[in-house]
Structures are given as structure tokens and as C-alpha cells.
Chain A
Amino acid sequence: MFSRWNWVACGFYLVLNICSPDASGGLVQSCGHIIPESPVLALGSNFTALCILNESCLDFGNIYASQIIWKIKNKLVPKEQYREINRTVSSVTFNDTSSLATPLTCNILADGQIEQNIYGITVTVGLAPEKPKNLSCIVYQMSKLTCVMTCTWNPGRHTFLDTQFRLRYSWPEEIFPDCIPKDVNNSCTINDIQFFVNTEIWVEATNALGKAESDPLVVDPIDIVKPLPPQNISVRSEVLPTVLKLFWENWISDAVMTLKFNIRYRIVGDTNWIEVPSEDTASPRTSFSVQGLRPYTEYVFSIRCMKEDGVGYWSDWSEEKTGITTEEKPSKGPPLWRIIDTSHSPASWTVHLIWKALKPFEANGVILQYEVTVRDKTSLSSPVKKYNVTSTNHTLELREGTYEVTLIARNSAGASPPSVLLIPASNSKAPVKNLRTLPKHDKLWVGWTAPNSYVLKYVIEWCLVSSSSDCVIEWQIALGDVQGIDLKGIKPFKCYLITVYPLYADGQGSGQSVKAYLKQDRPSKGPTVQTKKVGKAEAVLTWNHLTVEEQNGFIRNYTILYKTIDGNETVVTVDPSKTEYTLSSLTSDTLYTVRMMASTDNGSRTGPDFTFTTQKFGKGEIEAIVVPVCLAFLLIVLLGVLFCFNKRDLIKKHIWPIVPDPSKSNIAQWSPQVPAKHNFNSKDQMYPEGSFTDVSVVEIEADDKKSFSEQDLKPFDLLKKEKSTSEGHSSGIGGSSCMSSPRQSVSDSDEGETTHNTSSTVQYSTVVLNGYRDQTPVQVFSRSESTQPLLDSEERSEDHAGGAGSTAQRQQYFRQNGGQDEINTDRPCFERAKQITHANEGDLVGFVQLQISGQSSQPLGLGMEKITQEAAVSNILQTCTEGQTVRPETVEENPLSVDEMPKSYLPQTVRQGGYMPQ
């Protein structure tokens, strides 16, 4: 209990002690303090700090040195580094100050583990300054009277502390103010410099850990001067064309120092400087004559200076000044050449004299004019002609011959030596051999092998080959002892035509030419290929040569690449001289894509694609097919015509039968009982017996029904429908020869489908009589089943049906229709007909019986639907019924039922010229 109160009182006391103002004046009275206070320590050294507690705190706070703990930036220092010196003093030791940080605090650990800070210090760690090294000074001349001295040094390592550098200098008996660097620590500039006195200069570096001085530099500032370069330079040309005189001003007084100089110069446009020998300018001066210069050449001069004894520094080079030397007469004659134009007349030459302007170092001035002299060597009596020319060419009209041309260039100083060119009548001398070229960087070397004879000089002509403009000739003269020159100004990727002429003392050799490129590239475009002719298995391709501008080099070959759409590409290499190529072994009627590639030594370029399609037939194939076909066709037609011509009667009979005019028929003659207007009868009468030459029977099975078109089948359906609604309808004329049995007719109505089919069967029989061809009216028509009542009924039907009935009847001349299902049922009828036919074979020329299921019922069906009305139908029905009643009497073998409508004509035995009742 006591202890607790004791510690509480102790803490209160500490707080009070720290916070209450001290009577001595401080706001805070600490319970202790640290020695040393805010030290600056050398990096890497050891350090010991002491924390000393106040005695008053011992008495009232009950705290002792043993309770002290040390902290670096809130990090506890290991207790091994503590040492309790006495009850109020604790020390801490650091072997290496690099582990120190700020702040270092002394704390009390009271009972109850309460930490109380007693004191803290700031620790600064750094390095002492190193000795500045490499001190050097230069005195810069700033103006005529002002010099400053700038000294630089190496400040040494970084100290991590605020380190002051000062440049100090002194005379033996006088110390000058220090120079303190601004913003830097390695240089300083002194403005007050006195020459001719040895001055001791040194650098002093100072910080909290120490001071260091550089080695002193003892120097007379005059020995380290870098003077200003000479000013106001002027250049004056002298009388001699090879001398220029320089003048300048020195900006440093001779009283201070005497100077020596360096003079350099160069030709304007040249970059290389030439220096005047230094020994020539080693003494003080303000002018100098530069000799050995080129006449009429502009030079650039520059001067620098330094102390005469060579101690110190050279000044910068002065500003550049130019001067031009005076003129001198040209040193050589201009190179001369000619181009002879004999195009208009071989005997009359147009001679273009051309010469090159002299180079500046040859012209030695401004060329005022050229003097051309032409002497005819073939005629000594001919006067010498002189021309004064200001340009570099001159054109002469000369007769064919040998001439000597002399050229002189003249400037203000005099005339050049003459250039002589011999123009022989012919270039009959030996040419150069083995002309060749070789690119060398940006120059094109042209080499040749000299002829055996002595050559004065060579003329090398070259020109840029162009497809759009003429070859503009450039030329150059080479001495006779050389066998190759470099052509300059040659552009890469351009074709040049180079010609070399040897010039002899007594004539000229013929020129040898070669084409060359300085540098080749791949063509700028590829050839455009197209077809000239396309066949079945071959195609002829054509293209144009690339222009020389597009070639960019020598075309080594063309490559043709062609392929089908899905095929492999085929490659063909073609000689570069060709412009046409035939592709063979192509597939007929196939689309081909072809393109063409031009290649130089440095690459290739492909032209645009071109497509073509080979022909389906080869040449003559179509003719070989068409002509025989046409011939065959013509032959067939011819044969057909002949056949038709021969069989014209038969054809006419089949195709264009002569239809008797009913109006001209006479029923009275045909049958007294039958009215003359009965068309049916009159028709029958028109076919005399035995007029058919043949008989054909066509049977079409019901299964084949589907082979007919839907339209064909429609009437059959209609018929079926009709049959379902009104059974026993009769067709044609009064059921005169219906062969359906009555039993079948009964079953038709009673037995459903089979019966229906049976009832839908319509049979026609056509009886064509002989004699229609000669239009002989049939006098008698005999119907086997005809009775008077039938005729009556027919007549009634005719009356009801009107014209439609007659139409239906006309169609019934050649056809007899019936359903397939009725074949069996019809068979008795058919057999019977056959029997009849057999019986009357001699009389019957022929008949046609058609059994067409479904389709053949159309004429009848239509007639039934469209024409015959119910009344008519009922009449016909009635007629049929009546006929039926008659039939057993006349044909016992054909027992037709009452329901079975007589829907067909039954072939009857008809005798010509009479009606034979059956």
C-alpha cells in the first residue's frame, strides 16, 4: 500500500518537475540531462553519452541511474551498452556512430514499467573535410584592363555536414580577402588580380569536424593568363597574287605581357585549316603577311595569341576574316572536245566545240573570254579563222576534212596556254580495248586497255540514258598514260552510256562504248504482260520492255509466273531480250492468272496480274464438228424432202385428210330413213371402204396413267365424278355399238370401284370408208346396231346438243377411248370386233382402235359436261337403253346390260356403196 502511493507520488512529482516553471527562469526543469549536448560525430567513430540525473529527483522521485534506459529514435538500445557510473549517472557507448540516429533519449523505467523520458539530444554524424586537391587557376582576360582569376579544385568526399570552402591567396606581406564560392564547392573567381607578384593560393575546407587545406599554389597570375584573342582583324591583298596581309589589334598591353601568335587560314568552302609556321609569328606584332596563296582565291583567316614566353594559355581563335588574292593569268588551257553532227550531209559537218570552264585554281581569275582558232589542215591556203567566245561552246559549219582547233582562255591578268584539238576526217585509228567499269563508292571507275600506239590523251564521254530525253553528253579528258579514271557525279540506279576515244598526235581512234550502273536496284515496276493470242492449250504472251528509268539496273531475265485458280504456280524464265512467249500445255477452258517479274542483279519486281481463259475448242475443232453436223442435217432434210415428195399422197392423207363438206352431203342418197343433215352419217359416208392402208392399235395400260400429265388425267377424274353423280351416261352417238355387258353395268352400280371403272370406260370405234380420197360421197352407211329408234334418238340428241355434238363426233373418227379397267370387260367386245373384222376382212380396208384409259375420255367427257345438258343426257341414256333393248336382237353374242352405256363406236362392217342392215 505504501509502495503504490509512493510511486504515484513519484510520477506526480516527475510530471510536476518537468512541467512546472523553474525558479531559475526555465519553463521546463528536467530531471536530468545528457552529456554531450547535440554532438557532431565522425562517421565510424565510437561515442559515449552520459545521462546525469538531478539530485532533487533522487530525493523526491525515488529514481536512480539503474532505472535509466536509452533509446535511439524510440528504439531501445541494448542494455549491454549501458553502464551505471554512479546512482545518478548512466552512460551508453556506441562503437560505431553509423548506427546512431536522432534523437538519442535518456528515459526512466519506473516501477510498474512506466517509461518516462528524461532528456534527449540530436546526434549529427558526418565526416571531416578532406584535403582539397588538384587546385588550378586560370586568369581570364575579360576586357582590355580587366582580368579575373578562376580557381578550381577537387573538394574530396562528401562530408554529410555543412562544409565551407574558401579560396585564400596572399602575398608575403599582404593577405587578401577570401574568395567564398557561391552555390558550388569546387571553384571560385577572384576579381582583383595583380600581376608580377608571386601569389600564394590555397583552398580551405571547414566543417564541424575539422578543417583541411589544400597544398598551396604559388604562381604569378601573369603566368596563367588566357588572353582575349586579337580583335579587329582585317585582310588586305597585296600586289603579289599569292600574298595576303593581316592586321589586328592586341587587347592586352605590352606593359602587361608581350604576345606570340598562331595564324591559320583555309580556302573558302574548304574545311581544312593551314597554319602559318609558329616560329614566324612568335614575336609581338599586329600584322603578318601570309604567302604562298593561290591567285584569285578567297581565304579565311583566324588568329590566336598567348604570352610570348609560352607560359600560360592560348587564347580562343579570333573571329574569322576573309580576303581574296589578286588575279594571275590562267595556268592552263581549257579542256577541249567536239561533237560532230553529220546528219544533214556527210560532207558538211556541224562541229560543236565544247570546252570546260577552268577550275578556280586554274583560271586564277575571272575568265573574260575564250579565243578559238580553227585551221584547215587539208588546205594550207585556207585562212585561219578566229572567234572570240564568252560561253564554253562554239558551233562551226565545216566541210569534211582535218582541222586543228586551238583554244585560249583570257582573264584580266593574261592568256592561258593554248589547248589544241585535232579533228581528223575520220576516226580511223585504233580504239581502246577491254573497256570496263567498276563502281567505287560514289564514283564509277572506267578502265580500258591502251592501244598499241602512243596515245596523247583519252576523251571519256558519258551520258545518262533516258527514254524520254536525249542523252546529254558529259565528257572528261584523261592523260595518255592513264588507263582508267573515276567518273564523279554519277547517280545510282541510272544507266550510263560511256564511250572512250583515244586521241593520237595524228588522229583519233574510234570510240568504244559500254553501259554501266554505279549501283543497281531492283526494277521500280514489273512488266505488264498480256495475251496476244489464246488457244485451247497455249497462249501467246506479250509485254513491253521496261523503260530504262524503270529498270534500275541490267535486266538479267524475265520470269513468267502463271497458274490456274487452284493450281500450282508454274515459273518460266525468259531471256531479257524477248517480248513474247508462248505458254503451252495449258488446260482448255481454264482461267489462268499470269504475271511477270523482271530481275536485276539486286532484286526483282513483279508486274500486275493478268488473267485469261483458254478456249474450249482448239482451232478447227468447231469447224470439224459443225460442218459434218450441218452436212448430215442437210442430207437428212434432203432425204426427208425426197421421201415426202415421194410419199406426198400418203402424208397428205395422214396429215391433211380431206374433210367432206357436210353441206354437200345428201342424206337422201345415204339413207332414205336418215335425215340428210345427220352429220355423223354423212361422215361415215365419206370414208369409202378400203380407204385405209394400214391399221394400228395402241394399248396403253392403266398403270401408265401416271405417265400422263395431270391435265391429261383431269378429264378422267371428271368422268369418274360424273359417273358417280349420273351413272350410265352415254357418249357419242346413241350407243350404237356399245359392247359393255349388262351384267357389268349392274355390277357397276352395285360393286363400287370396279364397277365405276367399268362404267367409265368409253370406247370409240372409227370406221373410215374407202372412197373419201376421191371425195366421192358415201351413198350408204351401214351401222350394225343402228335401228330407226337409234337414229331418232341420235337425231334428238343432235338437236339438243347442237354444234357441240357434231364436234365430239368428229373427234371420234379416229379414236376410241376406254378405261384400262375395262379392258377385260371390253375384251369380249374387242374380240367380237375382231371376229367381225375377220369376217369382213375383204371389205374392211382398216380401222383404228385406240384404248386409252382416262385420257381418251376427254373428248367425250367434255362433250358430256359442256355440251350435253341433263336432258340430252337423259335422252342419250334413253337411247342407249333403247339400243340395249334392240341389241340382243341383233347381236346375241354381246349381251350388254341396260346400265352399260354404249360409249363407243363398234367397228362395223361397212360395204361401200350400200347400207347393210345387220
Chain B
Amino acid sequence: MAAADSPSAALRRRDLCSRGIRLAGKMRADVIDLLDAYVEQQGLDASASVAAVEGVPLAAVERWDEQTGTQRLLENLAAYRAFRALLAQMLEEQREQLGEADAGLGRALAAVLLQVSAFAYHLEELLRLESRGIPGEEEEEDGPPPPPRLSLFEQKLRGLGVLRELAQWALRSVRDLRQLAKPSPATGVAPGLVESP
């Protein structure tokens, strides 16, 4: 691991981690608030079970504490890039469905979208500090196939699934970044203790 060679790089890394943790925390809070508004707005049942969203890595992993820092960052980046695309699609569908009728929901979606973008930027910066190449967008484009044409209800359910998964990922990202922010350089060996966000 070639990261944190210089004090400024270490400082920058810590700053990015700190900011990323707070951003993820805020994103989670906002997403949870948005989930309530979304369920109510779309007329869905909050307890409705939704299938896993296609194209988004699962937040829950079995051996999370064994992941390296780079691995965490890459998984996070992949997830958030996927969320960015999904949220943008949701925002577009939302505008098509409701127009300007519910600008509040649209603004909240746009804000979450911005936070996802910002968090993705944080992850990219951290990866740069790790001297690791950043996966290109083409990679991303190749990854998740274009979503099939869905019915309106299916779109609503998928939106619910995206937001739930994003809330999970926000929680995991906080834990990942806290892990990265620890003084010992993350060399891929995760610490034994697992902190809850």
C-alpha cells in the first residue's frame, strides 16, 4: 500500500474520510426521511418486500471485516455509481409521472442524488490517495445492463428498493470509512473489532 506516504496525504485522507463519514451519515438520514415520503407519495406499503435491485452490489457481506481498504472503496464506488444512475432514472420517472405536482419529493430525490455523487467523488479521491486506478465509467456502463421497461407499479417498487438499498449502503459506507480513517494504514487486513455506524 503506497498510501499516506506524506503527512499532507494522510491529512487529506483523514479529511476525506471524516467528510465522507458525515456525508454518508447525512445521506442515510435523508434517505430514511425520503423513504417515508416516497412510500406515502407512491401509495406503497412500508412493509412491502422488494426484490434486490439489479446492478447494485449488496451492502451486506459475509466477511466484511476481512476486506481491504481498497476493496471497500471499490465496492462502495461501484455501488454508488449504480445508485447515481438509478436515482437519476427515478428522478426522470418521477418528473414524468408527477410533473411539478410534487416538487418536494423531486427536490429530495435530487438532493440524495447529489449526495450520492458527492460520496462517489469522495471515494474516487480516496482511491487516488491509495494510488489505485479509478475504474472508468465505461466499466460501469458495461456492468449493469439497461433496465427493462417496467410498469408503473414496478417502477415504484424498484424505487422503493433503490432507496432501501441506499440506506443500507450509507450505513455500510460509514463503517467502511471509519475503518479506513483509523491511524493504521489499511493494508487489506481489517481490524478485529467492528464498529457500528
Binding site for B on A (CB under 8 A): 145, 171-174, 192, 194-198, 220, 222, 253, 255-257
Contact between A192 and B121, CB atoms less than 8 A apart: no
Q: Return the contact of B121 from the options A145, A172, A257 (Cβ within 8 A).
A: A172
- Inter-chain CA distance A253–B33, complex, in Å, is 12
B117-A255 in contact (CB<8A):
no
A253-B29, A255-B28, A255-B29 as given contacts; A194 in contact with B22, CB under 8 Å:
no
Report the nearest B residue to A220, measured CB to CB. Answer: B19
Interface assignment of B26: CB less than 8 Å from any CB of chain A = yes
Residues from chain B with Cβ under 8 Å of A255 in the complex: 22, 25-26, 28-29
Instruction: Say whether A194 contacts B19, CB under 8 Å.
Output: no
Given contacts A196-B23, A196-B26, contact A171 B111 (CB under 8 A): no
Interchain CB contact under 8 A, A194 and B28: no
Please pick, from B20, B26, B118, the residue contacting A256 in the complex, using a CB distance under 8 A. B26
Cβ-defined partner of B118 (8 Å) among A145, A196, A253, A257: A196
Report whether B26 and A174 are in contact in the complex, using a CB–CB cutoff of 8 Å. Answer: no
Q: When the two chains form the complex, which single residue of B25, B118, B124 contacts A194, counting CB atoms closer than 8 Å?
A: B118
**Contact indicator B22/A195 (Cβ below 8 Å):** yes
Residues facing A in B9-27 (CB within 8 A) are: 19-20, 22-23, 25-26
Q: Are A195 and B23 in contact (CB under 8 A)?
A: yes
Instruction: Judge if B122 is at the interface, Cβ distance under 8 Å.
Output: yes
Asked if A171 contacts B26 (CB within 8 A), the reply is no
Q: Which of chain B's residues have a CB closer than 8 A to the CB of A198?
A: 19
- List residues of chain A with CB within 8 A of the CB of B110: 192
**Is A197's CB under 8 angstroms from B111's CB?**
no
Q: Is B70 an interface residue (CB 8 A)?
A: no
17 additional contacts (CB under 8 A) given A173-B117, A256-B22:
A171-B121, A174-B117, A192-B110, A192-B111, A194-B114, A194-B118, A195-B26, A196-B19, A196-B23, A196-B118, A196-B122, A197-B23, A198-B19, A220-B19, A255-B25, A255-B29, A256-B26
User: Of A145, A196, A222, which contacts B20 at CB under 8 A?
Assistant: A196
Please determine whether B114 and A192 come into contact, CB atoms closer than 8 angstroms.
yes
Name B82-139 residues within 8 Å CB distance of A: 110-111, 114-115, 117-118, 121-122, 124
Most buried by B among A222, A255, A257: A255
Nearest to B18 among chain A residues (CB) is: A196
Contacts of A172 in B (CB 8 A): 121
User: Shortest Cβ distance from A849 into chain B, in angstroms?
Assistant: 157
> Smallest Cβ distance from B146 to chain A, in angstroms?
23
Of chain A, the residue at the smallest CB distance from B125 is A172
What's the least CB distance linking A257 to chain B, in Å? 8
Contact A197 B28 (CB under 8 A): no
Rounded to whole Å, the gap between the CB of B159 and the closest CB of chain A is 21
Q: Least Cβ distance of B190 to chain A in Å?
A: 24
Which residues on B are within 8 Å of A, measured CB to CB?
A: 19-20, 22-23, 25-26, 28-29, 33, 110-111, 114-115, 117-118, 121-122, 124
Measured CA separation A196–B170 after assembly (Å): 14
B5, chain A: closest CB distance, angstroms: 22
| Chain A residues with CB under 8 A of B22 | 195-196, 222, 255-257
Residue pairs across A and B with Cβ atoms less than 8 A apart, 9 shown, are A173-B121, A174-B117, A192-B114, A195-B23, A196-B19, A198-B19, A253-B29, A255-B29, A257-B22
Chain A residues with CB under 8 A of B28: 255
Chain B positions within 8 Å of A194 at CB level: 111, 114-115, 118
**Cα-based distance from A192 to B103 in the complex (angstroms):** 14
* A171 with B29: CB separation less than 8 A: no
Cα separation A172 to B16 with both chains bound (whole Å): 14
Nearest first, the 5 closest Cβ-Cβ pairs linking A and B are: A196-B23, A197-B118, A255-B29, A255-B25, A196-B19
Q: Which residues of B contact A171 (CB under 8 A)?
A: 117-118, 121
- Smallest CB–CB gap between A75 and chain B, Å? 58
**Residue picked from B25, B33, B110, most chain A C-beta under 10 Å:** B25
State A171–B25 Cα separation when bound (angstroms).
Answer: 20
Residues of A within 8 A of B114 (CB): 174, 192, 194
* Closest residue on chain B to residue A173 by CB atoms: B121
In the bound complex, residues from chain A placing their C-beta under 8 Å from that of B115 are 194
Question: Which residues of the other chain, B, contact A196 by a CB distance below 8 angstroms?
Answer: 19-20, 22-23, 26, 118, 122
Closest to B122 in A: A197
Chain A: CB-nearest residue to B24: A196
Chain B, residue nearest A253 (CB)? B29
CA–CA, A198 and B125, complex, Å: 12
B26, B110, B111, B115, most chain A CB atoms within 10 A: B26
| B20 to chain A: closest residue by CB | A196
B26 to A, closest residue via Cβ: A255
Contacts of B25 in A (CB 8 A): 255
Closest to B120 in A: A173
Q: How far is the CA of A475 from the CA of B8 in the complex (A)?
A: 75
Q: Inside 8 A of A195's CB, which chain B residues have their CB?
A: 22-23, 26
Of chain A, the residue at the smallest CB distance from B115 is A194
Instruction: Report chain A residues within 8 Å CB of B33.
Output: 145
Contacts of B124 in A (CB 8 A): 173
Closest chain A CB from B127 CB (angstroms): 13
Residues of A within 8 A of B23 (CB): 195-197
Q: How far, in whole Å, are A253 and B110 apart by their CA atoms in the complex?
A: 19
- For residue A256, give the distance in angstroms from its CB to the closest CB of chain B: 5
CA distance A171 to B124 in the complex (A): 13
Report Cα–Cα, A198/B118, bound state, in Å: 9
- The distance from the CB of B104 to the nearest CB of chain A, in whole angstroms, is 10
**How many angstroms from the CA of A198 to the CA of B15 in the assembled complex?**
11
What separation, in Å, do the CA atoms of A197 and B115 have in the docked complex? 9
CB of B136, distance to nearest CB on chain A (Å): 13
Among B19, B20, B26, B111, the residue within 8 A (CB) of A253 is B26
For residue A145, which residue of chain B has the nearest CB?
Answer: B33
Closest chain-A Cβ to B129's Cβ sits at a distance in Å of 14
In the bound complex, CA of A197 to CA of B121 (Å): 9
Q: Considering only CB atoms, which chain B residue lies closest to A196 in the complex?
A: B23
Closest Cβ–Cβ distance, residue B56 to chain A (whole Å): 21
A196–B29 CA distance with the chains assembled, in angstroms: 14
Which residue on chain B has the smallest CB distance to residue A195? B26
Alpha-carbon separation in the docked complex, A196 to B118 (Å): 8
Q: Which residues of A lie under 8 Å from residue B29 when comparing CB positions?
A: 253, 255-256
Most buried by A among B22, B28, B121, B124: B22
Residue from B29, B110, B124 having most chain A Cβ neighbours under 10 A: B29
Residues on A with beta carbons closer than 8 Å to the beta carbon of B117 = 171, 173-174
Min CB–CB distance A688 → chain B (angstroms): 166
Interfacial chain B residues near A253, Cβ < 8 Å: 26, 29
In the bound complex, what is the Cα–Cα distance between A617 and B23 (angstroms)? 118
Task: Write the nearest CB–CB distance from B107 to chain A, whole angstroms.
Answer: 8
Q: A775 to B148, alpha carbons, bound, how many Å?
A: 190
Query: Which residues of B are found within 8 Å of A174, using beta-carbon distances?
Result: 114, 117, 121
A255 to B117, CA, bound (A): 18
Shortest distance from the beta carbon of B46 to any chain A beta carbon, whole Å: 20
Whole-angstrom CA separation of A192 from B124 in the bound complex: 23
- Measured CB to CB, the closest approach of chain A to B157, in angstroms, equals 26
A195 and B110 CA atoms in complex are apart in Å by: 14
Q: Which of A172, A196, A253 has the most CB of B within 10 A?
A: A196
Min CB–CB distance A706 → chain B (angstroms): 136
A312 to B29, alpha carbons, bound, how many Å?
A: 22
Rounded to whole Å, the gap between the CB of B19 and the closest CB of chain A is 5
Q: What distance in Å separates the Cβ of A98 from its nearest Cβ neighbour in chain B?
A: 49
Whole-angstrom distance between the alpha carbons of A145 and B34 in the complex? 12
Decide if B26 touches A197 in the complex (CB within 8 Å): no
Instruction: Considering the complex, give the chain A residue whose CB is closest to the CB of B114.
Output: A194
Q: How far is the CA of A256 from the CA of B22 in the complex (A)?
A: 7
Q: Closest approach, in angstroms, between the C-beta of B137 and any C-beta of chain A?
A: 11
Closest Cβ neighbor of B21 among chain A residues? A196
Contacts of B111 in A (CB 8 A): 192, 194
* Alpha-carbon distance A196/B20, docked complex (angstroms): 7
Give A667 to B26 CA distance when docked, in angstroms.
Answer: 176
Give, as a whole number of angstroms, the nearest-CB distance from A176 to chain B: 9
Q: How far is the CA of A176 from the CA of B111 in the complex (A)?
A: 13
Contacts of A192 in B (CB 8 A): 110-111, 114
Tell me how far the C-beta of B170 lies from the nearest C-beta in chain A, rounded to whole angstroms. 10
For the complex, what is the distance from the CA of A253 to the CA of B115, rounded to whole Å?
Answer: 16
